Structure 1
Amino acid sequence: MDPDTADAQLLDAAEALFNERGVQAVGMDEIRSRSGVSLKRLYRLYPAKDRLVEAVLHRRDLAVREELARFLDPIDDPRDRILAVFDYLDDWFRREDFRGCTFINTFGELGGGNQAVADIAKANKAALLGCLRELVSAAGLAAPLADQLAILANGAMATAAIAGSPLPARQARDAARVLLDAAR
């Protein structure tokens, strides 16, 4: 197996297992078994579990940013683009494998003791805020609205995971609509 294929299989397996059960509950041998990559190759690519966690988070961060951008791309109206962020969340929360935000979950597990994980989680949340700031600016609305919308989005992520329901996305969208109407 070539290194790129092994890396992709390891990241796929680790991401799925971390999502299902959390980082601390998953051992390297289980990742090796799920991935089909030899233990020797696994440790050659990721000499420590922390490096694998960081790689999973980096890859997930890029994927989420790209996925959200693709979701918003066909929408022209600036206000509709803002509300579509919450439609994106609703779609995500309805996926069979949704267990909450990888970054919130991993930060909760490891962020206090792993600065790299904390930095990646913060960068992901900063990217969401940056996206919302761009959308708010394009709509000609006051900048502080983006921070409020980010709180709604992140709160919906945490609440949906705990409740096991996609409903918080709709509720956050309704609250965002109220904020948008008030900001006019």
Structure 2
Amino acid sequence: MAKKYTMIINLGKCIGCQACTVACKFQNNVPVGQFRTKTPADGLKGAYPNVSLFFIKEACQMCQNAPCVSVCPTNASHYNEDGVVLVDVDKCVGCMYCLTACPYDARFINKETGAADKCTFCYELKVSKGEKPACVSTCVGGALIFGDLNDPLSEASQYMAKHKGEVRKPEFGTHPAVQYIYEGVVR
């Protein structure tokens, strides 16, 4: 059976420490001043005494209907055998069509390679070897969960069976693989 990878982000557990951002930069050799993932504060929500501040991890949403893939003139942006959206830097011409097409602002042109760059779920470096993405393995708050939804025994499948997830910008019809859990968050 094909894999269906997901990343689950429990916003009620994220403390905004940026360990995921640092781990990603280190693991993927991301140039100074550029980021594959970031975790900005979403701002204060609610009214006294029910006020909250939460953080939303922003990165590639690994869309099943990815506009970045469909607009790429060289097929540099593509799905791999496990449905993960990747960029072949040898095929990328830096046209930026994918940057414009991405409704999540999750891509950038790597200033060292000149190619489009983004989160890959650390597929090549970790996931293909049975390991978790760098951001997940370093999350001190336990806010990030990763796994194969087609495997009923995976942590991700078991977690989603007990929690209601939401995707960002569902109106775009991109069908993201990243799920957000808002339990305990005032919004």
The interval holding the TM-score normalised by the smaller chain is: under 0.3
TM-score, reference length from structure 2 = 0.27
TM-score, reference length from structure 1 = 0.28
Select the structure of larger CA radius of gyration. 1
Relative contact order, higher structure (CA 8 A, sep 6+): 2
Larger helix proportion of the pair: 1
